[in-house]
Amino acid sequence: MAALVQTTETKGFQNWLRGALAVLFAKQGLQSFVIDELTQFQRDVLTSIFKNKNLPIGTTCTNCTTENVLYCPTQNFCTKGQKCNMHDPSVADKTPQPCSNNICHDVKDAIRHEHRYKGPSWKNTNAKGWCTDVIEIAKCYMPPDGYTNVTTITDTDFNGILAVILNNKRFKCKMTAPLNKPDNVCTEAREVSRVIRHSADLNISDTDLTKYTDILIRLLSDPAYLAADQNAKTAVDKLNQLKTNTLTVITADIITVLDKTLKDITEKQRDNVVQEVSEERRKAKEDIEERRQRQRKTLKKRRYSQLNSSWAMLKLR
């Protein structure tokens, strides 16, 4: 405990904590911006389907599962050339089939069409919510791991929110940043989040803290829409106060970032253990195979020697 107290009193740790809070505030500043645009996307998609399919306005479907809507194989969902672990023809909810309301396959196509790289994270999402719960659409644009259990935008981390902005093409019209280029303010902000989240010693220099905070402020001040967004403006105010050390930080925010860090550390340790076990398993497997090869060679030599002996005895006769 003494070591922990000493660490929390150091300037480097205090900077790291400010950096983690900066990421939290930036996330809070983007949440409504992202969910509002995806809600409009959902509305536009359904309106188009109603018109093209001559369906009554307000038609929805909450019956189709993701396995029902995606054919086998589908990129980022199930693989070709081996037994599918996602579909099962003996289970109705796991069998590809038409939508009874004639709507879900069109929503799927719209989700894929708006994905910048045509590769939605299908395993994240439950198609039953596509018509009624916009977060299930949002998860299609988040990274493929770690977002399955997300139920609200507030559950999502900063990386997940940035992924939606980067992967959904509609945001190209909502920001002046060149989202189709590998280097833009969103990818810079993502790197800020990564560095802070994976800081081994929870330590950041004054220079880096200023640089990271400025990147987040630049993101939230994008002149296309965010500069006038009240939540983004509130986040920018907090970030500026963080820079000048004039912000009154509430305990709940500190607990949030520390809980998130503890969770990340725990998962990293678990992953390291899994990796170590996998490595030991690989070594053991190689050792067993090497022994088998040696045994086969020894047995082969022995049989060859026996054959030679038998042949020599026949020649003597």
pLDDT of residue 85 exceeding 90:
no
Strand partners, 168: 115
Q: What is the pLDDT of residue 4?
A: 38
The Cα-based distances of 264 to 55, 146, 185, 246 in angstroms read 46, 11, 24, 29
CA distance 271 to 274: 5
pLDDT of residue 278 exceeding 90:
no
Lowest-confidence segment of 83-92, 105-114, 186-195, 295-304 by average pLDDT? 295-304
Q: What is the pLDDT of residue 2?
A: 36
CA distance 2 to 210: 29
Q: Work out the average pLDDT over 72-97.
A: 87
Residue with tokens 């195979």: 289
Contact (Cβ atoms closer than 8 angstroms) between residue 162 and residue 190: yes
- Domain spans of the chain, in order of start: 10-64+99-249, 250-317
pTM as predicted: 0.79
Q: What is the pLDDT of residue 139?
A: 97
Q: Which residues are CB-contacts of 70 (< 8 A; sequence separation ≥ 6)?
A: 77, 78, 86, 96, 108, 122
Lowest-confidence segment of 7-16, 66-75, 167-176 by average pLDDT? 7-16
Where is mean pLDDT largest: 8-12, 14-18, 48-52? 48-52
pLDDT of residue 9 exceeding 60:
yes
pLDDT of residue 280 exceeding 60:
no
Q: Work out the average pLDDT over 59-79.
A: 93
CA dihedral 271, 276, 278, 284 (to 10 degrees): -170
pLDDT tens string 222-272:
999 999 999 999 999 999 999 888 887 777 777 777 777 777 766 655 555
Residue with tokens 């009554």: 56
